[in-house]
Amino acid sequence: DQQVKQNSPSLSVQEGRISILNCDYTNSMFDYFLWYKKYPAEGPTFLISISSIKDKNEDGRFTVFLNKSAKHLSLHIVPSQPGDSAVYFCAASGSGGGADGLTFGKGTHLIIQP
Amino acid sequence: KAGVTQTPRYLIKTRGQQVTLSCSPISGHRSVSWYQQTPGQGLQFLFEYFSETQRNKGNFPGRFSGRQFSNSRSEMNVSTLELGDSALYLCASSLSSLLGTEAFFGQGTRLTVV
């Protein structure tokens, strides 16, 4: 049973527009969420994170929103740039800290079109 | 500072053989986690080591094992390889077990079992 779901396998967005990537989770013990970006043949690169005590975290063009009651988070990229084309993974961590590992979604392939 | 280093980058093995993968974490990081990435299952947590102790293990058979050395370097071993073990194996390091500590990934080892 998938505890972290990214229901859109791919997303195409025009350059300069907003990209919104969505993630849903089922485990209410998750209280820390992360987004990773992955290029082919490379390991995931950490982008941004959010703790469950917050509902928004912003870092430059990237903003993550968390809706705990809906068990939903989203990553907004504004404005989208060609270099943003990659696979984006949502990940969650439980109250055990790093010990219980990260649970990942299956990823969303973001394609930025010129 | 140097990132997470995984060796080798690529490996081809035959069914029934065993394989050892190596991971050198970022200097000062004491936690090392291993993940398996396959097209169908996405990124799945294998196990996590902290100060030479395995703290948690994902849902993988006993053929998958690991260890961590006093310098925090870690190895992962897979015995009696099966075709389904073909995957990208990723190692991630983080500072400690504290909640919210981001994990930094290496480039991975691409294992092909023939």
Quote the pLDDT of residue A60: 97
Quote the pLDDT of residue A101: 77
Nearest CA in chain B to A47: B102
- List the single residue in A32, A41, A101 with the smallest CB-CB distance to B100: A32
In degrees rounded to 5, what are phi and psi of residue B85?
Answer: -80, -5
Quote the pLDDT of residue B40: 78
Quote the pLDDT of residue A97: 46
Quote the minimal CA–CA distance from A1 to chain B in Å. Answer: 11
A24, A35 Cβ separation under 8 angstroms: no
Quote the pLDDT of residue B112: 97
Contact B31/A at CB under 8 A? yes
> What are the E-state strand segments in chain A?
4-5, 10-14, 19-25, 30-38, 45-51, 56-59, 62-67, 72-77, 86-94, 103-104, 108-113
Q: Give the largest CA-CA distance in chain A.
A: 43
pLDDT tens digits, one per residue of A52-81: 999 999 999 999 999 999 999 999 999 999
Report helix, strand or coil for A68.
coil
Quote the pLDDT of residue A66: 97
Quote the pLDDT of residue B100: 56
Quote the pLDDT of residue B101: 67
Quote the minimal CA–CA distance from A55 to chain B in Å. Answer: 15
User: Among A29-33, A93-97, A109-113, which stretch is predicted with the lowest mean pLDDT?
Assistant: A93-97
| Centroid of chain to Cα B44 | 11
Quote the pLDDT of residue A73: 97
Percent of chain B clearing pLDDT 70 (strictly above): 95
User: How far is the C-alpha of A109 from the C-alpha of A38, rounded, in Å?
Assistant: 9
Chain A residues with CB under 8 Å of B111 CB are none
pLDDT tens digits, one per residue of B5-49: 999 999 999 999 999 999 999 999 998 999 999 987 888 999 999
